[in-house]
Structure 1
Amino acid sequence: MSGLYAAAEEMADSRQQLQVKDDFSGLSPYERKRLKNISENANFFASLHLSESAARLREMIKEREPPKSKRKKPKKRENGIGCRRSLRLLNVDPSEFSLSKVPALPTVVEADKEPLLPPGPLEMNPENRDDNSELFKGVLQTWAEVKKTSTKNSEKLSSIKSYKANLGSMVISEDTVCKVTKGSIFSMALHPSEMTLVAAGFKYGQIGLWDLTHQPKEDGVYVFQPHSLPVSCLYFSPANPAHLLSLSYDGTLRCGDFSKAVFEEVYRNERSSFSSFDFLVEDASTLIVGHWDGSMSLVDRRTPGTSYEKLIKSSMKKIRTVHVHPVHRQYFVTAGLRDVHIYDVRRLNSRGSQPLISLTEHTKSIASAYFSPLTGNRLVTTCADCTLRIFDSSSVSSQIPLFTTIRHNTITGRWLTRFQAVWDPKQEDCIIVGSMAHPRQIEVFHETGKRVHSFLGGECLVSVCPINAMHPTRYILAGGNSCGRIHVFMN
């Protein structure tokens, strides 16, 4: 519309200019040509009747009424809570004002929290089975009577060539892949015997036991509920293979006893959340427990009927894993936010304990730190900066030098459990870690940083396995994913 106005005004100006120029006869040829063009353009615009159209549009705009607002005024709330007013400004004596007359403000409802299971022992009843008490008793008796295999032959390292050949003979099939229950797998352990029994700790507090000697495979799966929050740490007792100890975020540490068919309560702290634990002595009578808030607990199980507990404050803000040196058991390592600390259990103080050694090479949060299983001469850490670091811990002194770094994608994202590189318990110079690479695989690295082997499963391994465990004497590897599925490679 503004274009019509401009055209009409330009036409009027052209006509006026033409009339003025007609009064001057002595013009140059250029001026006469210019006036001729102006005249022709004016006649052309006049033939379009733009001035009349513009006048009609102006009239139409003036006749239109402005639109009325459709917004409705909010209604006054009759029984609503009004603005707070000062009693002093209202000239009201506070002593005469009854607090009971003030309507109660709505309270914020907190998110539902999983209730803790009752203290004391819990019966070992599988929640995925019905009317199978006699059959399950027979299974428990079999598990309780199985003895762990001898470790004398495994104390000597195999050559890398022989070790690599044994890894290459390990295969996976549809019969060695099973979904145990829903939820992510947070921890795994393999029974140290000739029986292939895999234990897995799950996100919602369950523990799944899969006995691969049963066929079909579903008949060998048993799921229990000894905890209410994620089970972050699992170990078969080094002193009694019929005991499975489990630790959970819910602040409980339990021992599943196959011979008694119960989950006994070892340690409980309802004011804290647990992250990891390890045995301070080989008879499993004393434990070190790490808390998410950075504190630690010394738990002595030798007290009849209960456990003696001593709470220790550390210099860390958060503890994700704790691991005891396999030879010098007075030393243990903790991994936290960006800190890896080595402590001496003899120097722990309830008011606050300082580490013997602090490893400061990490730039982001650390998922785990573990000593090598036979000598403890190496220490591996898994960090969110996509680096696996191996330290020389052969001499626990004021400094532990960095031995090797391995570039490895450790960014699992929100929905996957964080990677934890662990040592092969029978080949302590090699580590096992999950992988984000395609095709999906589980990788084995030598302490020098060289890749030794990649476990590929084709259609049987199509997901990431962040948590892995290797049998202490046999060539059996179990990998767990974030959907509750266990993958087993074996020869």
Structure 2
Amino acid sequence: LFKSAARLHQIATKRQSRVTKRAKPKKAEDETVRRRSMRLQRVEPSGIPAAEELAQLGAEEYPQVPAGPFPMVPEGEMENSKSAEELLATWMRISELEAGCWLVLLLPSLTKGLTMLCRYQDSLKGMVLSQENIRKVVKYRVCSMAIHPSESLLFVAAGDKTGQIGLWNVTCRSEEGAHVFVPHSFSVTCMKFSPCNPAHLLSLSMESLRCGDVTRAVFDEICRSEENLSSFDFLEDNACSAIVGCWDGGVAVVDRRTPGTSPELSADIGFKRTRTVHVHPVNKQYFVAAGSVDVCVYDVRCLKPGGTRPVSSLKGHTRSVASAYFSPVTGSRVVTVCADDTLR
């Protein structure tokens, strides 16, 4: 019995020895640990502000401009410095010189216009860009610009993507020749000096249309909207009324002489969005509007809130239209800029 048991034990031991087990490799001490993101680990990152904190930081960096009149004081100053006062005084002085002859500037004859064009072409050929004529006027990207009509000196206004407006006296070579004002909360997409009174600078952002009056050192609010305004143009030579384009596809008529900040009329022109509006240089009742793929001419006298039919539709655009403008002298032509890399 003992011999049989020993034999059976020997046979069982041999069978088990034939079964090989894979040995588990020992974990090296210097082996790198696989990294997992904090998002997968569901761990809040330390030292990084949450989304609410980022929004609060953005609001602090770009403060919202309150509604209503806003004082014409440079950014970061409680009152105008001596250099800022000199800049505003220069703007006022050159505007007084131009105000007396604005009718001559606005109503040139065709012959005079062609003569000025030839002189302009000759002057372009001799233009040179020098270092003293380069200046960082605003802090961020420039979205619009306006040039004062003065012939005595070059005075420029530039608007950036955060609502800043920089005024620059190019003739002044010192650093005090430029100052920044913040009358808007969003991108300044359109600016124009008043043709009859260049002491007024009208500027448009998504939330408001303002008039900077240098004689009173204030940015008056003409029209206010909920982040919907895109562009504007004057309907009259005296610049008292304007047509305003809206991002929701409509247009509005604004009159500066009417108290309040509501438009006189809001009309539906059938666009998904209205990027630019431009008034005919001779027949001021007509304006051209550019939208997503639409370019149409309208009569401001026929605008209706429930829908307005265009006087003329300019077809052929296959992609988004950035802008459309009448020719400056007669208005007999319209030029459009389209995303298909084509001017029409």
Same fold (TM over 0.5): yes
Q: Provide the rounded CA distance (Å) in 1 between the counterparts of 2:156 and 2:134.
A: 12
Q: CA deviation at 1:165?
A: 2.5
Equivalent residue number for residue 208 of structure 1? 166
Structure 2 gap ranges (5+): 1-16, 27-32, 35-50
Equivalent residue number for residue 325 of structure 2? 370
Equivalent residue number for residue 315 of structure 2? 360
| Pick aligned residue for 2:188 from 231, 239, 253 | 231
> Do the aligned residues in 2 keep the contact of 1:286 with 1:300 (CA within 8 Å)?
yes
Superposition CA RMSD, Å: 3.0
| Pick aligned residue for 1:309 from 264, 283, 289 | 264
> Do the aligned residues in 2 keep the contact of 1:370 with 1:380 (CA within 8 Å)?
yes
Check if 1:182 corresponds to 2:139. Answer: yes
> Do the aligned residues in 2 keep the contact of 1:315 with 1:355 (CA within 8 Å)?
no
Q: CA deviation at 1:126?
A: 1.0
Equivalent residue number for residue 93 of structure 2? 145
Q: CA deviation at 1:119?
A: 1.6
Task: Please state whether the residue corresponding to 1:140 is helix, strand or coil.
Answer: helix
Q: Provide the rounded CA distance (Å) in 2 between the counterparts of 1:160 and 1:283.
A: 25
Check if 1:241 corresponds to 2:161. Answer: no
Equivalent residue number for residue 124 of structure 1? 72
| Pick aligned residue for 1:255 from 211, 217, 223 | 211
Check if 1:62 corresponds to 2:32. Answer: no
Q: CA deviation at 1:182?
A: 2.3
Equivalent residue number for residue 454 of structure 1? none
> Do the aligned residues in 2 keep the contact of 1:335 with 1:341 (CA within 8 Å)?
yes
Q: Provide the rounded CA distance (Å) in 1 between the counterparts of 2:171 and 2:340.
A: 41
Over residues 371-407 of structure 1, what are the superposed CA-to-partner deviations in whole Å (9 max), with x where a residue is unaligned? 1111111211111111111xxxxxxxxxxxxxxxxxx
> Do the aligned residues in 1 keep the contact of 2:74 with 2:80 (CA within 8 Å)?
no
Q: Provide the rounded CA distance (Å) in 1 between the counterparts of 2:246 and 2:191.
A: 15
Task: Please state whether the residue corresponding to 2:304 is helix, strand or coil.
Answer: coil
> Do the aligned residues in 2 keep the contact of 1:340 with 1:359 (CA within 8 Å)?
yes
| Pick aligned residue for 1:157 from 114, 117, 120 | 114
Check if 1:332 corresponds to 2:287. Answer: yes
Give, as a single letter, the amino acid of the residue that structure 2 aligns with 1:232.
T
Q: Provide the rounded CA distance (Å) in 2 between the counterparts of 1:289 and 1:60.
A: 91
Task: Please state whether the residue corresponding to 2:265 is helix, strand or coil.
Answer: strand
Check if 1:173 corresponds to 2:130. Answer: yes
Q: Provide the rounded CA distance (Å) in 1 between the counterparts of 2:18 and 2:195.
A: 96
Q: 1:67 to 1:254 in 2, by over 3 A?
A: same
Give, as a single letter, the amino acid of the residue that structure 2 aligns with 1:377.
S
Task: Please state whether the residue corresponding to 2:88 is helix, strand or coil.
Answer: helix
Q: CA deviation at 1:145?
A: 2.5
Q: 1:301 to 1:159 in 2, by over 3 A?
A: closer
Q: Provide the rounded CA distance (Å) in 1 between the counterparts of 2:86 and 2:63.
A: 32
Over residues 318-340 of structure 1, what are the superposed CA-to-partner deviations in whole Å (9 max), with x where a residue is unaligned? 11111000111111011111111
Equivalent residue number for residue 444 of structure 1? none
**Matched positions, count:** 293
Give, as a single letter, the amino acid of the residue that structure 1 aligns with 2:179.
Y
Q: 1:179 to 1:129 in 2, by over 3 A?
A: farther
> Do the aligned residues in 1 keep the contact of 2:234 with 2:241 (CA within 8 Å)?
yes
Give, as a single letter, the amino acid of the residue that structure 1 aligns with 2:329.
L
Task: Please state whether the residue corresponding to 2:67 is helix, strand or coil.
Answer: coil
Q: 1:334 to 1:160 in 2, by over 3 A?
A: closer
Equivalent residue number for residue 477 of structure 1? none
Give, as a single letter, the amino acid of the residue that structure 2 aligns with 1:193.
S
TM-score, normalised to structure 2, is: 0.77
> Do the aligned residues in 2 keep the contact of 1:300 with 1:307 (CA within 8 Å)?
no
Task: Please state whether the residue corresponding to 1:157 is helix, strand or coil.
Answer: helix
| Pick aligned residue for 2:228 from 273, 277, 282 | 273
> Do the aligned residues in 2 keep the contact of 1:330 with 1:346 (CA within 8 Å)?
yes
Equivalent residue number for residue 29 of structure 1? none
Q: 1:164 to 1:310 in 2, by over 3 A?
A: closer
Check if 1:349 corresponds to 2:297. Answer: no
Q: Provide the rounded CA distance (Å) in 2 between the counterparts of 1:193 and 1:220.
A: 16
Q: CA deviation at 1:350?
A: 0.9
Give, as a single letter, the amino acid of the residue that structure 2 aligns with 1:172.
L
TM-score, normalised to structure 1, is: 0.55
Q: 1:110 to 1:128 in 2, by over 3 A?
A: closer
Q: CA deviation at 1:220?
A: 0.7
Q: Provide the rounded CA distance (Å) in 2 between the counterparts of 1:226 and 1:161.
A: 38
Equivalent residue number for residue 39 of structure 2? none
Q: CA deviation at 1:60?
A: 9.4
Q: Provide the rounded CA distance (Å) in 2 between the counterparts of 1:155 and 1:111.
A: 57
Identity among equivalent pairs (%) = 51
Q: CA deviation at 1:133?
A: 3.0
Give, as a single letter, the amino acid of the residue that structure 2 aligns with 1:175.
E
Check if 1:219 corresponds to 2:176. Answer: yes
Check if 1:293 corresponds to 2:293. Answer: no
Task: Please state whether the residue corresponding to 1:199 is helix, strand or coil.
Answer: strand
Max Rg structure: 1
Equivalent residue number for residue 192 of structure 1? 149
Q: CA deviation at 1:214?
A: 1.1
Over residues 180-201 of structure 1, what are the superposed CA-to-partner deviations in whole Å (9 max), with x where a residue is unaligned? 1221111111000122001111
Q: Provide the rounded CA distance (Å) in 1 between the counterparts of 2:286 and 2:145.
A: 24
Q: Provide the rounded CA distance (Å) in 2 between the counterparts of 1:135 and 1:300.
A: 34
